[in-house]
Amino acid sequence: MSGFRNLTAVSDWRSWAVFRRNALVFLRNWRTALIPPAMEPVIFFVAFGLGFGGFIEDLDYHGVEINYATYVSAGLIAYTGFGTPYYEALYSAYVRMFYQKTWDGLLATQVELPSVVWGEILWGAARGMVNISLVCLVVAVFNLLGFVDVEVELLLFMPFLGFIAGSAFASFALIFTAIVPAIDHMNYPVFLIGWPLSVVSNTFFPIEPESAWLYALMQLNPVYQLAECARGLLVLGNPGWHLFGLLGSSTLFLIPCTLISIRLTRRRVLGD
């Protein structure tokens, strides 16, 4: 199957059938599948934004003085938008592929392998939307209590931005899902890639590299673009050029990572 057909499989009904299957399983177990993972960024917000933030002076964000809790609230939206689809496509997808043999069952029907991969990508992005929505709800409550100062009505756009970036993160994670020999080896993409990207992308603290090549590399990081896009919207009411940065960097990740993950998954699952 050509690369073009692999990419256009996102619009195939079979890709959305895989998405629907994962969504139905999630809805059946939503209490254990949703609440514990969604509480992680909330705990981080309370610990860093309210606890640690009490020891930090106000920050100057593009000429606007904001407290640390306001700064980190946008960062936690980006952290959630990255972590949820990334880990969903690592661990949950691996379990469906290797232990539950769900992918084998799907491939025994009319579903083809590109649709399985796209279904996982779409589902990972949707999980990111759900968790971002919960984080936004918490931020809105803390805004009402006066702990943060954000444009509350613009929180409605965060899940949709998270879906765009989440698709790229999920496609990237599926590359590792296709190549790791055992689930224990997931520690490598988690601790060598996942955690570093989570904390050095203007999520918990600002980073301003002086090196030109480091600055250029940061612009290609969708986590950074998502964090700055969210912060621009919530603080300034305008994402600025970071919206285009988010769209561009997400596309640069999504297209090649999807093609690579389809190829590697085909080799692992079908032996081609």
- The pLDDT assigned to 30 comes to 82
**Residue 12 backbone phi and psi in degrees, to 5:** -70, 140
CB atoms within 10 A of CB 154: 18
What pLDDT, in 10s, does the model give residues 183-201? Answer: 999 999 999 999 999 888 9
- The pLDDT assigned to 33 comes to 73
**Residue 61 backbone phi and psi in degrees, to 5:** -110, 100
- The pLDDT assigned to 42 comes to 78
Cα–Cα distance list, 261 to 20, 114, 167 (Å): 21, 9, 13
Rounded to whole angstroms, the Cα distance separating 81 from 90 reads: 15
Low-confidence ranges of the chain (pLDDT < 70): 1, 38
- The pLDDT assigned to 256 comes to 96
- The pLDDT assigned to 1 comes to 57
DSSP secondary structure string for all residues of the chain = --HHHHHHGGGSHHHHHHHHHHHHHHHHTHHHHHHHHHHHHHHHIIIIIIIGGGGS--EEETTEEE-HHHHHHHHHHHHHHHHHHHHIIIIIHHIIIIIS-HHHHHHTTT--HHHHHHHHHHHHHHHHHHHHHHHHHHHHHHHHHTS----GGGGGGHHHHHHHHHHHHHHHHHHHHHH-SSGGGGHHHIIIIIHHHHHSSSSSS-----SHHHHHHHHT-HHHHHHHHHHIIIIIS--TTHHHHHHHHHHHHHHHHHHHHHHHHIIIII--
Rounded to whole angstroms, the Cα distance separating 228 from 203 reads: 9
- The pLDDT assigned to 229 comes to 96
Rounded to whole angstroms, the Cα distance separating 88 from 110 reads: 25
- Three-state SS string over 128-163 comes to HHHHHHHHHHHHHHHHHHCCCCCCHHHHHHHHHHHH
Type of residue at 147? F
| Average pLDDT for the chain | 91
Q: The pTM is what?
A: 0.94
Token pair belonging to 266: 């085909």
